[in-house]
Amino acid sequence: MNNNINNSLLWLRRDLRLYDHNALFQALRKSKAVYCCFIFDTKILEKLKIKNDRRIEFIWHALKEIKEDLNNIGSDLIIEIGDPVILIPSLIKKYKCSALFLNKDYEKYAIERDKKICNTLQKDNIETYKYKDQVIFEEKEILTQNNSPYTVFTPYKNNHLKKIFNEGITQFDCEPYKINLAQFKNKPLQSLEDIGFKASNISSINLPLGTKGGRTLIKDFKTRIKNYNHHRNFPGIKGVSYLSVHNRFGTVSIRHLAKIALEHNSEGSSTWLNELIWRDFYFQILSNFPHIQEGKTFKPKYNDLKFENDLDKFNAWKKGNTGYPIVDAGMRQLNSTGFMHNRLRMIIACFLVKDLLIDWRWGEKYFSEHLIDFDLSANNGGWQWAASTGCDAQPYFRIFNPLLQSEKFDPDGKFIKKYVPELELLNKKEIHQPSVFFNKSPNNFPIKLGTDYPFPIVNHALQKPKVIALFKDAS
Ligand SMILES: Cc1cc2nc3c(=O)[nH]c(=O)nc-3n(C[C@H](O)[C@H](O)[C@H](O)COP(=O)(O)OP(=O)(O)OC[C@H]3O[C@@H](n4cnc5c(N)ncnc54)[C@H](O)[C@@H]3O)c2cc1C
């Protein structure tokens, strides 16, 4: 390919790496000098109410690494704070660029923002080049025989796998072309305070940061991938990859991960590949059914379910004080680390909707504020799955029993004890339902319920018929 563009601007967004990067690869091959930039988009930042948000610090570390890597080869990363609709055209002018390169974003806000920028640039004959990078297959790449989007996972997955096997996975090796990075020096990286934020507890939660951190996690997971199918449902076992935040911000490449899964060729790796395909599945749902981005249920008939929405119960759920140890442990993991194990996300989302009778949208919002890996597509997909309002969701009458889930997936209570230390003295049986054992013999029980740890805020058996009636009314 000729590099017939003189200067171009590469805009990094949720693709914070310099390897296997589609837009960077294309920009480097088509241009004589590529300027890389990142904008802290104040329209997004303004909505973040928690000032020590872990995600901002995660991004900050990733940018620091990219800036250092670029500095090592004579280039730099331009970092600005403000509205990209104004800043991108102004950077294009400042650096005399004749093209903008970026990887596509599939969320409504970003699509509209990017369209505005593209239109502004077009007026000055500046071309915008957009690429698929976040997902393996996007939008309408995998359709049913009737050319409509899939709404059921299994046939989608089968077709996805067929396409992977037929087409292979193309990676974008930027290394040989990095000679075309613009040689210049920019101002130093702003502090978190300059961006309007402050340090979080990210450095104490043992989360490897940046592309290097992503590589560390990949290396570690490769030694465990063969057991993924056996271990992935147990929060007390190191069974999953913990790569979701890196997928969210693109500090690893999804094609790289898919290749690892394919090359490993074990039951564990194919189960893991399925999870990467779930990710693509929810991205295509977001693109093809955009109404879900506006707080609407995937299935319209469930839009106005008559939830009880009791604020005290919601607050107890948020704090991890429901009296259901597995739920409380998961919520406390979320609050203290920003991560929650997938099995717990399912149990806890189901519990909020079907035991507490609270609108799934309240839970979705809380997760969106606290999850370090928050992704609109997967979060909405997960919540609507648990709430039985989504595509390919669990049926409304299928209601997780938190006690059975706890006994099955944290049999020794190891995970519960880590996050609910007041239950430390309870044995394997007591830990899952302390109130039952306490009520039998309050004076001999190691802790005092109601003081040391709450009684259950609802009775699971009594809630079940209520939620079924609620759905039946709307069906
Ligand atoms: C209510 C609910 C909310 C969720 N919210 C999010 C969210 O905001 N962001 C997010 O990335 N995931 C979300 N998930 C999916 C899943 O829980 C996380 O991706 C997973 O726990 C991350 O851990 P891991 O990286 O170790 O995953 P692994 O088990 O190692 O899986 C590998 C990768 O596959 C992807 N993945 C795995 N499971 C799913 C899934 N069910 N849907 C979509 N992608 C998946 C993730 O990118 C993950 O990193 C949610 C699930 C539920 C039930």
Averaged pLDDT for residues 114-121: 98
Whole-number mean pLDDT of the chain? 97
Beta bridge partners of 77: 36
Residue 53's pLDDT is 98
Q: Are residues 270 and 347 in the same domain?
A: no
Residue 334 pLDDT exceeds 70: yes
Number of neighbouring beta carbons within 10 Å of residue 1: 8
User: Which residue's structure tokens are 């935040």?
Assistant: 245
Q: How far is the CA of 238 from the centre of ligand 1 (A)?
A: 15
List the residue whose alpha carbon is closest to atom 5 of ligand 1.
379
Residue 278's pLDDT is 98
Residues in contact with ligand 1 (CB, 6 Å cut-off): 232, 240-244, 247-248, 275-276, 278-279, 282, 342, 345-346, 349, 367, 371, 373-375, 378-379, 381-383, 386
Residue 2's pLDDT is 62
Which CATH number characterizes residue 88's domain?
A: 3.40.50.620
Is pTM beyond 0.75? Reply is yes
Q: Which residues contact 229 (CB under 8 A, 6 or more apart)?
A: 267, 268, 271
Determine the residue of 244, 264, 383 to mutate for testing ligand 1's pocket, defined as the one with the most ligand atoms within 8 A of the Cβ atom. Answer: 244
Of 247, 263, 288, the residue that ends a domain is: 288
pLDDT, tens digit, 9 for 90 and up, residues 119-145: 999 999 999 999 999 999 999 999 999
Residue 142 within a domain: yes
Residue 1 pLDDT exceeds 80: no
Residue 194 within a domain: no
Atom of ligand 1 nearest to the CA of 346: 53
Q: Which of 322, 325, 277, 301 is nearest to 161 (CA)?
A: 277
Q: How far is the CA of 427 from the centre of ligand 1 (A)?
A: 31
User: Is residue 114 very low, low, confident or very high in pLDDT (cuts 50, 70, 90)?
Assistant: very high
Pair 356, 458: CB distance under 8 Å: yes
List the residue whose alpha carbon is closest to atom 22 of ligand 1.
244
- Beta-sheet strand order (sheet of 99-103): 77-82, 31-41, 5-12, 99-103, 127-131
Residue 431's pLDDT is 98
Residue 3 pLDDT exceeds 90: no
Q: Are residues 102 and 159 in the same domain?
A: no
What's the total number of domains in the chain? Answer: 3
Of 82, 110, 133, the residue that ends a domain is: 133
**Coil, helix or strand for 449?**
strand
pLDDT, tens digit, 9 for 90 and up, residues 22-61: 999 999 999 999 999 999 999 999 999 999 999 999 999 9
DSSP per residue over 346-393, as a string?
A: HHHHHIIIIIS---HHHHHHHHHHH-TT--HHHHHHHHHHHTT-STTP
pLDDT, tens digit, 9 for 90 and up, residues 270-310: 999 999 999 999 999 999 999 999 999 999 999 999 999 99
Q: Are residues 366 and 274 in the same domain?
A: no
Helix %, strand %, coil % of the chain (to 5): 55, 10, 40
Residue 475 pLDDT exceeds 90: no
List the residue whose alpha carbon is closest to atom 18 of ligand 1.
342
Q: Which of 291, 311, 314 is nearest to 303 (CA)?
A: 291
Strands 31-41 and 5-12: parallel
Residue 162's pLDDT is 98
pLDDT, tens digit, 9 for 90 and up, residues 209-224: 999 999 999 999 999 9
Residue 394's pLDDT is 87
Burial class of 156 by CB neighbour count within 10 A (0 to 12, 13 to 18, 19+)? buried
Q: Which domain holds residue 336?
A: 300-474
